[in-house]
Structure 1
Amino acid sequence: MPVSITITVVSPDSSEPRQVDTTTTGLDLFGDDRSIVAMQVNGETKDLVHMLADGDEVVPVLVTSDEGLAILRHSCAHVAAQAVQNLHAEAKLGIGPPITDGFYYDFLLEEPLTPERLKVIEKKMVGIIKERQRFVRRVVSDDEAVAELQSEPFKLELVQLKGSAADTEGAMVEVGAGELTIYDNVRRDDSTAWGDLCRGPHVPHTGYINQAAFALTRTSAAYWRGDQANPQLQRLYGTAWATKDDLQAYKTRLEEAAKRDHRKLGAELDLYSFPENIGPGLPVFHPKGGVIKREMEDYVRRRHIEEGFLYVGTPHIAKEDLYYTSGHLPYYADGMFPPIDDDGHLYRLKAMNCPMHNEIFRSRGRSYRELPLRFFEFGTVYRNEKSGVLQGLTRVRSITQDDSHSYCTPEQAPAEIKHLLNFVLSLLRDFGLDDFYLELSTRDDKKKDKFIGTDEDWETATEVLRTVCAETGLEVVPDPGGAAYYGPKVSVQARDAIGRTWQMSTIQYDFNMARRFELEYTAADGSRQCPVMIHSAKFGSIERFIGVLVEHYAGAFPVWLSPVQVTAVPVAAEFNDYLEDVAQQLRKAGVRVEVDTSDDRFPKKIRTASKQKVPYVLIAGEEDRSAGAVSFRYRDGSQKNGVPIAEAVAEITKAIADKVQV
């Protein structure tokens, strides 16, 4: 069937767009003019950027697609780096990859990148964009790259570490295991304005970057290659979008996210803190935060028991040998704290619970009749996260996991994974997260040395997860190379109230660890068989989950999770005793209630309760007392007067039981 296509192009010698109409089933969109900026297919506009792939092949990519935005942002990162070096010739280049919603570039630079300085850099970037400098790809040998990059020590290091350097965050945009390429920014007179070691791809020229739709956003410190032993660089962050409206929408999302920042709200609501004397990444929960944590733990403990799990408990440290048996050492050594020497015996703070659960399994003989056997605990584990990546509750060193391990026969594995996935999704919905998709993390077949197990093991496990995921009807996004070293996994990616995605629960198919621990069960035919082990964490991390919930609800929790569910505010001191009696009735019904008997004036008491985001404020004056009633003031500011006490108690307890948001 013919397709109607309208192409908008910009000729190299003109900045004015012109339209070319055609009807075709297979048109070469480019011909001699590669400056296509938009295309309409059957009347629907398709904005394009172009990817320079192998050689000079040009492939159209929608600029609004994830791939198109990544190309646009990577190109903008180059423009930012060019602008910095134009302004500071002594600046040394690190790496500059695209990231979610933006890009960054690292520099060794003596002068601090202040907010005022960012404005100067932005102005210089606009000038580069207006010049419409072409991105020209050039293949170089290792020796040529070394000779050309003598003044760039960090680039030289990447060349010398080619292949292995890809393990560095962001380094994949610079070098891989194959040929090296440099992208030159070339002016209209064919003179080279600037160049950078880079694998690409990029837009054809800087004019593709909308000068009204990019911004430099902030700076931070960053160690070269993520190692604290290396030089500290300045990281310049920015963002780029297809249109000015897209940029403004992004800024609006950032403003809303700032209002919801769980670190800020945690202090305002007196939930938790991060004392320097305890250490980075080690939060403490205050009484009100402790209420939320306890409610979550009580809920998930009860749900696990209902789902057939057996509660267990394990210590916080163990002999180092345990983690060699499990395979975590050396595969996960960087994520664990250094060993503790006890009279020549080395111990480790546990970074995971699974090895200890395996010891419980093999403490006695097991029969196939016991399977699937499900162990569960709230186990606090410790991860040696680098200080630079720690962030409030969402990236910590002390992690409380609602960790479970199911031991089953290979035939039971699909049903057990389906059971776990249904459990996970129902749990997230109870906490108000109901917009999610699944991510299936598999082995990187090009790096098999980083994974344990045979090809057959991986194919079987991956297919089981893939099939179960498909049966949910949810979107399944592939994540090649994201598997744990011992098996593939599926993770639930939940979207919060403002559309951000958070990785929550995980389910991992492990065909390896049970063998390493020589776990066995007696099969129906009397033979000794090794079980399949399935790891699952429903919250993932309680600390992180709380941080996500604080931001999702902007601190205004549903009634059942609110630290204080009711604040009683007397109109005058003479009504204190009356509201104390009402509060006592609520407490007997299991409601968390406080009575504000402070010396503050009535309006201030109402404002205080509002700032604390309390779901219900109960007010009483003479009219209420005479009627044996209270007046409601809800969190949204609405009111209901003269509610009999028994009805008030019933309304509040029902909202708690139904887990509603008011």
Structure 2
Amino acid sequence: MRDFLNDVELNTLNHSCAHVMAQAVKHLYPQAKFWVGPVVEEGFYYDIDLGDQTITDDDLPKIEKEMKKICKDGKRIVRHEVSREEALKEFADDEYKVDLISNMPEGTVISTYSQGDFTDLCRGPHVDTVKKCKNFKLLKHSGAYWKGDKNNKVLQRIYGVCFPTKEELDEHLALLEEAKERDHRKLGKELGIFMFADLVGRGLPMWLPNGFTVRRILSDYIMDKELDLGYEHVMTPSVANVALYKTSGHWDHYKDDMFPAMEMDDEAYVLRPMNCPEHMMIYKSQLHSYRDLPIRMAEIANDFRFEASGALTGIERARAFTQNDSHIFLRPDQIAQEFKEVSKLILDVYKDFGFTDYEFRLSLRDPEDTEKYFGNDELWEKSENELRAVLNDMGVKYYEAKGEAAFYGPKLDVQVKSALGHDVTLSTIQLDYQLPERFELTYVDENGEKVRPVVIHRAILGSLDRFIAFLLEETKGVLPLWLAPKQVVVLPVKNEYHEEYAQEVVKKLRKAHFRVQLDNRDEKLGYRIREAQMHKIPYELVLGNNERDEGTVTYRQYGHQEQTTVPFDEFVALLNDEVEKKALQK
């Protein structure tokens, strides 16, 4: 997919098309006044004041029709440079343009662009003629506060996209349609995974029975793997004293992303944004010998961050989320081996989920912008060099990214390519000398001296919420059998003849620890089968006379047309084999 922000040709074209849209809007709504029309990741938008009028879905085709006329007319786009006084006079009746001009620094070159009967304030550049903007599509509309301030008036924002050729536009629109079908917010609603309610709070997801089941299975899955590798699980509170985060450094470097502090009993408490300070305190509560290390502490932890309203994206980016978090306390000589073990765990998990398109990113501090990081240069250089050396020793292919480090240390991020081509960070491993220093953590070395441990922060599934969002979009909601909230739906052909046997099958499947649903509604069989398909349940069992009389089941797997009749025990063996192998959906 082409990059609208950094592709000069695409950026210029979309900026020009925004002006074509504004011209069309002005033709249809003479009262329209315009704020800004930038190029964004998905194309372009323009913020417009239409007075008392509100744009609806029915208006977009009308605007598109007018835009086509403008493009066909083929007027040239001409640039003019004007003085501040000339600009203020030209746009005197538009308070939005007057505001823009008035806030420009002295000496700014002010330019306008004209195309036929439309002139707009703009620094450009633009294409030379509106003819080049003909391959466009208006995508959606919404409201937007002027200057992003909720105390200001709501303007009408119209989004669009433009490409040099019709083929590129069609390809892009097909991708957008595919993205709609894969959108985890749509799938989450259709499959009963999660919900939001403004009365509960924006960005605060509520997990419905199906969603909670998926979360529970994922939690058990990763905790079992951790237990096999010597991790110990803890549980810490979701709220803590502000003093804890001042000690860790989060308060100074992260408080703008935290919920406001709550004052009570002469103390200030805050919802935690992460769990490392609490884990530091658990480690510090006991004396440790060099023989005790590494200590692998893990938690499935609820965290809270006050994300900006505009950044909230379903469960992919929410204000309440759950992390598969761990902190490993170790000696410096154990860094390489432990780093390798964590990397192996990540690759093992990715194999189970069928992830193959990923790469490693070494995220480093930006040496030219050190204000947002804490600690000293020596420790940063030491930890960055050690991570680099470990990766080189492992023979792992990676690339470096300055400015992407955590504020307390460098990290290795695993960047997974989604089905829609997005780069998503799922797992991370971070090396940290800073927090052990700030919390004065120690262990007794072989010489009887108290020395500092090193900490590895690691998240394999990362945020469970984001991981589930990623899975839903990767699979279009068709989860593998071992993870599906409902694994089997049982459908008696006619209740009066077959429900008793259906109930018996359901009881046996539940006893065998499968998640099963009986659909004995007074609806036609075909309707109930379609419903099961819509809910993407892996297996449907249709039970009629033959099945009842012979003790068999007839099953159909999701996405397949063929039906297979087998003895009940054989069907259970099939399910057990698929679950044990964590087989991917075929």
TM-score by length of 2: 0.86
Q: Secondary structure at the match of 1:219?
A: strand
The answer to whether the aligner puts 1:447 opposite 2:389 as a matched pair is no
Of 394, 413, 427 in structure 2, the residue corresponding to residue 491 of structure 1 is 413
> Superposed, which structure 2 residues align to 1:418-567 within 5 Å?
418-468=340-390, 476-567=398-489
Q: 1:186 to 1:446 in 2, by over 3 A?
A: farther
**Stretch deviating more after TM superposition (611-620 or 491-500):** 491-500
Of 192, 203, 207 in structure 2, the residue corresponding to residue 281 of structure 1 is 203
1:270 Cα deviation from its structure 2 partner: 2.1
Q: Is the 8 A contact 1:340 1:348 kept in 2?
A: yes
1:525 Cα deviation from its structure 2 partner: 3.2
Of 24, 39, 43 in structure 2, the residue corresponding to residue 102 of structure 1 is 43
1:295 Cα deviation from its structure 2 partner: 0.5
Of 502, 508, 526 in structure 2, the residue corresponding to residue 603 of structure 1 is 526
1:386 Cα deviation from its structure 2 partner: 2.4
Q: Is the 8 A contact 1:94 1:154 kept in 2?
A: no
For 1:632, the aligned partner's letter is Y
Q: 1:159 to 1:537 in 2, by over 3 A?
A: farther
1:553 Cα deviation from its structure 2 partner: 1.5
Q: Secondary structure at the match of 2:482?
A: helix
CA distance in structure 2 between the partners assigned to 1:471 and 1:125 by the alignment: 59
The answer to whether the aligner puts 1:576 opposite 2:576 as a matched pair is no
**Stretch deviating more after TM superposition (74-83 or 127-136):** 127-136
Q: 1:274 to 1:90 in 2, by over 3 A?
A: closer
> Superposed, which structure 2 residues align to 1:96-495 within 5 Å?
96-99=38-41, 101-106=42-47, 110=51, 112-115=54-57, 118-119=60-61, 123-124=66-67, 127=70, 130-131=74-75, 133=77, 152=97, 155=100, 159=104, 185=113, 194-197=120-123, 205-206=127-128, 210-223=132-145, 228=150, 232-468=154-390, 476-495=398-417
Who is 1:91 aligned against? 33
Q: 1:105 to 1:522 in 2, by over 3 A?
A: farther
Of 542, 558, 573 in structure 2, the residue corresponding to residue 635 of structure 1 is 558
Q: Is the 8 A contact 2:238 2:271 kept in 1?
A: yes
CA distance in structure 1 between the partners assigned to 2:445 and 2:91 by the alignment: 64
CA distance in structure 1 between the partners assigned to 2:569 and 2:582 by the alignment: 20
Per-residue displacement from partner, 1:223-247 (whole Å, max 9, x unpaired)? 4665545665544433334432222
Unmatched tracts of structure 2, length 5 or more: none
CA distance in structure 1 between the partners assigned to 2:91 and 2:408 by the alignment: 40
1:248 Cα deviation from its structure 2 partner: 1.2
CA distance in structure 2 between the partners assigned to 1:208 and 1:512 by the alignment: 56
Of 9, 15, 26 in structure 2, the residue corresponding to residue 72 of structure 1 is 9
Identity of aligned residues (%): 35
1:550 Cα deviation from its structure 2 partner: 1.8
Q: Secondary structure at the match of 2:405?
A: coil
1:68 Cα deviation from its structure 2 partner: 8.4
CA distance in structure 1 between the partners assigned to 2:399 and 2:140 by the alignment: 31
Who is 1:659 aligned against? 582
Q: 1:476 to 1:109 in 2, by over 3 A?
A: farther
Per-residue displacement from partner, 1:443-495 (whole Å, max 9, x unpaired)? 23332212223333333333444455567777645443232222223322223
Q: 1:293 to 1:73 in 2, by over 3 A?
A: same
1:616 Cα deviation from its structure 2 partner: 0.9
TM-score by length of 1: 0.77
Who is 2:546 aligned against? 623
1:353 Cα deviation from its structure 2 partner: 0.7
CA distance in structure 2 between the partners assigned to 1:139 and 1:447 by the alignment: 37
Per-residue displacement from partner, 1:575-599 (whole Å, max 9, x unpaired)? 2222333333322322112232332
CA distance in structure 2 between the partners assigned to 1:144 and 1:428 by the alignment: 61
Q: 1:408 to 1:128 in 2, by over 3 A?
A: farther
Q: Secondary structure at the match of 2:328?
A: strand
**Stretch deviating more after TM superposition (147-156 or 256-265):** 147-156
Q: 1:227 to 1:193 in 2, by over 3 A?
A: closer
CA distance in structure 1 between the partners assigned to 2:412 and 2:98 by the alignment: 40
Q: Is the 8 A contact 2:44 2:160 kept in 1?
A: yes
**Stretch deviating more after TM superposition (527-536 or 301-310):** 527-536
Q: Secondary structure at the match of 1:649?
A: helix
RMSD of aligned residue pairs (Cα, Å): 3.6
Who is 1:56 aligned against? none
Who is 1:592 aligned against? 515
Q: 1:292 to 1:249 in 2, by over 3 A?
A: same
Per-residue displacement from partner, 1:614-646 (whole Å, max 9, x unpaired)? 111122222223333211112123334331122
Q: 1:483 to 1:215 in 2, by over 3 A?
A: farther
1:311 Cα deviation from its structure 2 partner: 0.5
For 1:529, the aligned partner's letter is V
CA distance in structure 1 between the partners assigned to 2:414 and 2:339 by the alignment: 13
Q: Secondary structure at the match of 2:169?
A: helix
Q: 1:187 to 1:586 in 2, by over 3 A?
A: closer
1:182 Cα deviation from its structure 2 partner: 6.0
Count of aligned positions: 573
Q: Is the 8 A contact 2:17 2:133 kept in 1?
A: no
CA distance in structure 2 between the partners assigned to 1:432 and 1:438 by the alignment: 17
Q: Is the 8 A contact 1:550 1:557 kept in 2?
A: yes
CA distance in structure 1 between the partners assigned to 2:243 and 2:85 by the alignment: 45
Q: 1:187 to 1:626 in 2, by over 3 A?
A: closer
Q: Is the 8 A contact 1:368 1:523 kept in 2?
A: yes
Per-residue displacement from partner, 1:288-308 (whole Å, max 9, x unpaired)? 221111101110111122232
Q: Is the 8 A contact 2:363 2:405 kept in 1?
A: yes
1:612 Cα deviation from its structure 2 partner: 1.7
Q: Secondary structure at the match of 1:402?
A: strand
CA distance in structure 2 between the partners assigned to 1:651 and 1:367 by the alignment: 49
Structure with the larger RCO, 1 or 2 (CA within 8 Å, 6+ apart)? 2
For 2:533, the aligned partner's letter is S
The answer to whether the aligner puts 1:645 opposite 2:568 as a matched pair is yes
CA distance in structure 2 between the partners assigned to 1:531 and 1:126 by the alignment: 70
Q: 1:275 to 1:468 in 2, by over 3 A?
A: same
1:551 Cα deviation from its structure 2 partner: 2.1
1:315 Cα deviation from its structure 2 partner: 0.6
